[in-house]
């Protein structure tokens, strides 16, 4: 469904400065996969999605999407995909329901089908009460839900979602996911979905495959479980009096399956943190060895790793430090504006604006209709 080879994107910002936003991404996504792309701010996620959706041309490398090259056949690619860009919608005087119907018709639905889709989507995304209101009067989270609805109205077989749930409250995040998953399985051919998110729990729970991007490159690509098992491991934490910490750390280092041991000290107690392949399997043996050595353990915790531990293990940095959590207005201030002011960009036909300004990072207007 998607095949990229050594895809790169450079933004020439000034004569002396070029941003290497994407530095050689090679990917294969099979039909029906649900892939989450994770990475800190500025990692190159949006830039990659914008290349795959034909909004900006690659600097080098190739990308085939839905069977067509993004550079030579952008119209074919656009007809086959849906795209919900990052950032909130701009103001518009169109009403919510009319916007959805118009977008559906632009994608070739007849009016009756477009109206029934608009009805389903407003209901699924909790916009029924707002359906007859003007877009400019919606709250940030409501606008974001409309962006997503616009991206879904023609039921594309391949859907790109750039931080679809940023800015939504927990109830609406849950609704959105329920709808995405239902729609995906209801389709005749299972829908392929590529999304970016800073909510690691979403990627962990819903994605079948997680691609971790950092500094414009893919640094890991597997199922969440495999990544956690391979790159992070479980954490066994043992609490002991400080004078027993060093002997216990020695025992832990010699135990089979141990990957790393760290001793922390706070408030008169020490904790020995042991990263190990199988925490529940290792804990009893560690306790027995501690007991035999006369080390009094006052508390044991076994925690499974998170995707943040995976990133930490790969880069030494935490994704949480850069995560965008619950942005109140549905985006990070950048605006992807379609013909009607929605954050979903209309991707049909006209390719004349394909080469939107490469050098202006503040200009994310993508008017393609
Ligand atoms: N039009 C542009 N001109 C210059 N630099 C750009 C442009 N678009 C993106 N960049 C730069 O490219 C890099 C990658 O940006 P990108 O938007 O792809 O990151 P991202 O992974 O989507 O981050 P976030 O999580 O913040 O959305 C950043 O350093 C960004 O500033
Ligand atoms: Mg982005």
What are the tens digits of pLDDT across the range 137-189?
Answer: 988 888 888 988 988 888 888 999 999 988 888 988 888 888 888 878 877 78
Report the pLDDT averaged over residues 212-231. Answer: 94
* Single pTM value for the model: 0.79
Tell me which ligand sits closest to the C-alpha of residue 85.
Answer: 2
Residue 126 contacts residue 77 (beta carbons within 8 Å)? no
> What is the reported pLDDT for 113?
94
Ordered DSSP codes for 125-155: TT-GGGTTSBGGGS-HHHHHHHHHHHHHTT-
What are the tens digits of pLDDT across the range 326-347?
Answer: 333 333 322 222 333 334 444 4
Q: Which atom of ligand 1 is nearest to the CA of 358?
A: 1
What domains can be seen in the chain, in order of their start residue? 2-227 (3.40.50.300), 234-304 (3.30.70.260)
Q: Using the predicted structure, report yes or no on whether residue 104 has a pLDDT greater than 90.
A: no
**How many whole angstroms from its chain centre is CA 206?**
11
Task: Give me ligand 1 centre to Cα 21, in Å.
Answer: 6
Task: Give me ligand 2 centre to Cα 313, in Å.
Answer: 23
Task: Give me ligand 2 centre to Cα 163, in Å.
Answer: 7
> What is the reported pLDDT for 87?
62
Side-chain-facing half-sphere of 113: CA atoms under 13 Å? 11
**Atom 17 (ligand 1) nearest CA:** 46
**Atom 28 (ligand 1) nearest CA:** 42
209 vs 150, higher pLDDT: 209
**Atom 25 (ligand 1) nearest CA:** 41
Helix (H) or strand (E) holding 285: helix 279-292
> Both tokens of residue 289?
């060895």
Q: How confident is the model at residue 321 (pLDDT cuts 50, 70, 90)?
A: low
> What is the reported pLDDT for 354?
37
Q: Using the predicted structure, report yes or no on whether residue 290 has a pLDDT greater than 70.
A: yes
> Both tokens of residue 267?
């408030």
Distance (Å, whole) CA 186 – CA 192: 12
Q: Give residue for tokens 């999407």.
A: 65
> What is the reported pLDDT for 364?
32
Report the pLDDT averaged over residues 246-274. Answer: 93
Q: Which atom of ligand 1 is nearest to the CA of 44?
A: 18
């Amino acid at each position: 469904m998607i095949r990229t080879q050594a895809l790169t994107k450079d933004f020439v910002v000034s004569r002396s400065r070029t941003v290497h936003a994407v530095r050689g991404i090679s990917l294969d996504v099979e039909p029906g996969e649900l892939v989450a792309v994770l990475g800190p701010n500025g990692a190159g996620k949006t830039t990659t999605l914008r290349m795959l959706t034909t909004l900006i041309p690659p600097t080098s490398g190739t990308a085939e999407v839905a069977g067509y090259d993004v550079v030579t056949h952008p119209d074919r690619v656009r007809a086959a995909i849906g795209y919900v860009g990052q950032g909130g919608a701009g103001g518009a005087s169109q009403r919510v329901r009319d916007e959805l119907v118009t977008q559906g018709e632009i994608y070739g639905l007849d009016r009756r089908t477009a109206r029934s889709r608009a009805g389903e989507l407003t209901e699924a995304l909790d916009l029924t009460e707002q359906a007859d209101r003007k877009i400019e009067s919606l709250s940030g989270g409501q606008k974001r839900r409309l962006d997503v609805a616009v991206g879904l109205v023609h039921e594309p077989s391949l859907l790109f979602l750039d931080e679809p749930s940023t800015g939504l409250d927990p109830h609406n995040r849950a609704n959105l996911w329920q709808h995405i998953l239902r729609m995906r399985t209801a389709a005749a051919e299972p829908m392929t979905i590529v999304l970016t998110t800073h909510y690691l729990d979403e990627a962990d729970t819903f994605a079948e495959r997680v691609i971790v991007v950092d500094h414009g490159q893919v640094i890991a690509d597997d199922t969440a479980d495999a990544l956690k098992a391979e790159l992070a491991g479980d954490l066994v934490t043992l609490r002991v009096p400080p004078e027993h910490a060093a002997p216990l750390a020695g025992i832990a280092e010699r135990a089979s399956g141990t990957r790393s041991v760290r001793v922390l000290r706070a408030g008169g107690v020490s904790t020995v943190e042991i990263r190990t392949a199988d925490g529940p399997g290792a804990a009893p043996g560690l306790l027995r060895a501690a007991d035999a050595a006369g080390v009094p353990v006052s508390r044991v915790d076994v925690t499974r790793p998170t995707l943040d531990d995976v990133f930490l293990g790969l880069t030494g940095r935490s994704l949480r430090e850069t995560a965008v959590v619950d942005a109140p207005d549905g985006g990070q201030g950048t605006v992807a504006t379609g013909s009607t002011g929605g954050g979903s960009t209309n991707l049909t036909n006209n390719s004349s604006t394909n080469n939107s300004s490469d050098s202006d990072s503040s200009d994310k207007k993508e008017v393609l209709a």
